[in-house]
Amino acid sequence: MVELAILIGIFSYLVFAVGLIGNLGSLSYLGIGFLMIILFLAAKKRPWEKIYSFWQEVKKERICLVLLGLLFAQVIVNLIGALGPELGFDALWYHLTIPKIYLQQERIFFIPGSLFYYSAMPKLSEMLYLVSLVFSSGGTLAKLIHFSFGIFSAIALYNLARRYLKQHESILTILIFYTTLIVGWQSITAYVDLARTFFEILALDLFLRWWGSDQTKKEAKVFLIESAVMLGLAISTKLLALASLPIFLILIFIKSKKILPVCFFLLATIIIPLPWFVFS
């Protein structure tokens, strides 16, 4: 999932760069190219083998099958909602409207005034919606993208929980998460909160791996760097994710007893959304 998150981040910034130079007319080629890369990497990773292995393990416990059935039912309900027309206030106000303005002008620019104040905010998810609007002007594809982030978040949460909990407990964890009203509502709109959730879960997962590993090994440093990158992508998605940064910094200092890892994590996190800060 970390590789997927990094690819999404790279693609989002690539769209941002193309928009800044006023070449949004090429987005269709960019979108198709990104999809081809995702499909190629998915085939290389052979995810169906992991799914088969997961199924072989799960079907041994009846409680797991029941929990998965409930989870699947919720996924179908959310998918039906995602295929309907967009009714979310914020989505209609700026999450989709600002990308549509960019498309009309064929460039990304700061929109002055208080009506579209969100123009000054980081917009990682909106860059994905920008591409989706080329293929689906009504916003359905954008809604499906946000719906997908709900699925990705559940998978990331399962991977995190599975390191500490039993199989059925891990599935129960994601069932509780995914069936909450807020996740159900967010899954049927083109908002950005599930994308932020996805990146922050990965940031926490990688941070916990760093916490439980030998701090002197290279692997631990990689975990910390990747955690900072994930948090940076979360901030690039929604500025409120900045609230998590001081928590991570305090915990890093408590664990390492050194200021250098704290500064390194801070720098690695802030440098990711920095282009958006400069833009605004």
Q: Is residue 23 part of a domain?
A: yes
Q: Is residue 47 part of a domain?
A: no
Q: Is residue 148 part of a domain?
A: yes
Q: What domain count does the chain have?
A: 1
| Stretch 20-36: mean pLDDT | 86
Q: Is residue 49 part of a domain?
A: no
| Stretch 43-50: mean pLDDT | 76
Q: Is residue 182 part of a domain?
A: yes
Q: Is residue 26 part of a domain?
A: yes
How far, in Å, are 83, 111, 119 from residue 115 at the CA level? 28, 9, 9
* CA pair distance 255, 170, nearest whole angstrom: 27
- 8 A C-beta contact, residue 105 and residue 23: no
Q: How many CB atoms lie within 10 A of CB 5?
A: 22
- DSSP type of residue 107: S
The alpha-helical segments, DSSP class H, found in 59-166 are: 62-82, 89-90, 97-105, 124-135, 140-162
* CA pair distance 99, 249, nearest whole angstrom: 34
Predicted pLDDT at 117: 84
For residue 111, count CB atoms less than 10 angstroms from its CB and return exposed for 0-12, middle for 13-18, buried for 19 or more.
middle
Q: Is 223 helix (H, G, I), strand (E, B) or coil?
A: helix
Q: Is 26 helix (H, G, I), strand (E, B) or coil?
A: helix
pTM to 2 decimal places: 0.91
**Residue length of the chain:** 280
Predicted pLDDT at 62: 86
- For residue range 54-69, list pLDDT tens digits in order: 877 777 888 888 999 9
Of the given ranges (27-41, 45-59, 87-101, 121-135), which has the lowest mean pLDDT?
45-59
Structural domain containing residue 129: 2-42+54-279
* Token pair belonging to 176: 């509780």
**Strand spans (E) along the chain:** none
Q: Is residue 32 part of a domain?
A: yes
Q: Is residue 48 part of a domain?
A: no
- For residue range 190-205, list pLDDT tens digits in order: 999 999 999 999 999 9
